[in-house]
Amino acid sequence: MRKPYIAANWKMNKTIEETEEFINSFLPLVNDVSDVDISIAAPFTSLGAASRLLKSSNVILAAQNIFYEEKGAYTGEISPGMLKSAGCSSVIIGHSERRQYFSETDDIVNRKIKIARKSGLDVILCIGESLEEREADKTFEVLDMQLAGSLKDMPLDGMTIAYEPIWAIGTGKTATKEQANEAHTYIREWLMKYKEGADAVRIQYGGSVTPDNIESLMSQPEVDGALVGGASLKPDSFAKLVLSARIK
Ligand code: PGA
């Protein structure tokens, strides 16, 4: 049995003050939860404040992106060392918004995963197909390519995979539990075929997860958690998601 893992992806939301307000309200709602892993991927500017408030809590601090070099002339980028010194122990890599708006390829994602793992940061790797790809029956082909490219020469320790069908992100259109489980099963089989330790890897579902649909998604054997955007922005809604994921 894999421990459920619920992760918040705040995207480009929350100032430092809003981050502090969220965490102060959220922590008391989940402070007795030890059977679910919980993380919050805050914007870079909020990491320092979040880290101070999350210290010695049961919530992991994550970043939403990383650069694939350790230091140097890369204006505007953030290195793994910077993330670690800001208090992060995890990072989201390859989110579809990064792929779509910032032209991140599987090769770039692979370089980012390599440096993150080398620095001891855990990684949530996001993969998933677009609507056109799903309608053209290319879902598995896309997952194959993304997994092979992103995980090239990388072992699986420290890795979580988030299956996020692009058509479900921020649209209110969730994959059915059967669609989610089918894709997760495919990912699990791919990992089993090509990597060691695949059984232990958590596979999260992401895309319009809410307190209303999480139980149905989590009822599926291959759905080990969720990566949540919109519904993670309010403390009570994110706490509900965490509490729904508890082992029954
Ligand atoms: P959403 O975003 O929950 O708002 O659909 C999920 C994500 O992009 O990680």
Confidence label for 172 from pLDDT (cuts 50, 70 and 90)? confident
Task: Please tell me the distance between residue 71's alpha carbon and the centre of ligand 1 in angstroms.
Answer: 30
Which whole number is the average pLDDT over 79-101? 98
Pocket test for ligand 1, best of 39, 90, 228 (most atoms within 8 A of CB): 228
Ligand 1 pocket check for 197: Cβ under 6 Å = no
- Rounded to the nearest integer, the mean pLDDT of the chain is 97
Convert the pLDDT of each residue in 206-230 to its tens digit. 999 999 999 999 999 999 999 999 9
Coil, helix or strand for 226? strand
CA-CA distance, 87 to 143, in Å (whole number)? 32
Ligand 1, atom 1: nearest CA belongs to which residue? 229
Q: What is the pTM assigned to this prediction?
A: 0.97
Which of 68, 65, 143, 163 is closest to 110 using CA atoms? 68
* Domains (range + CATH), the chain: 5-244 (3.20.20.70)
Proportion of the chain above pLDDT 90, given as a percent = 96
Under 8 Å between Cβ of 54 and 61: yes
Ligand 1 pocket check for 160: Cβ under 6 Å = no
Task: Please tell me the distance between residue 102's alpha carbon and the centre of ligand 1 in angstroms.
Answer: 17
pLDDT at position 174: 87
Q: Where are the alpha helices (DSSP H) in 88-232?
A: 96-101, 106-118, 131-135, 139-150, 177-194, 214-218
Catalytic residue among 95, 104, 129, 184: 95
Q: Is the pLDDT reported for residue 248 higher than 80?
A: no
pLDDT at position 87: 97
Catalytic residue among 97, 129, 133, 164: 164
Whether 164 is catalytic is: yes
**C-beta atoms surrounding 112 within 10 Å:** 24
Ligand 1 pocket check for 209: Cβ under 6 Å = yes
**C-beta atoms surrounding 156 within 10 Å:** 18
pLDDT at position 1: 83
Pocket test for ligand 1, best of 169, 227, 233 (most atoms within 8 A of CB): 169
Confidence label for 176 from pLDDT (cuts 50, 70 and 90)? very high
Ligand 1 pocket check for 222: Cβ under 6 Å = no
- Cα 191 to chain centroid distance, Å, stands at 17
Task: Please tell me the distance between residue 122's alpha carbon and the centre of ligand 1 in angstroms.
Answer: 20
Whether 184 is catalytic is: no
Q: CB neighbours of 103 closer than 8 A, spacing ≥ 6? A: none
Ligand 1, atom 7: nearest CA belongs to which residue? 229
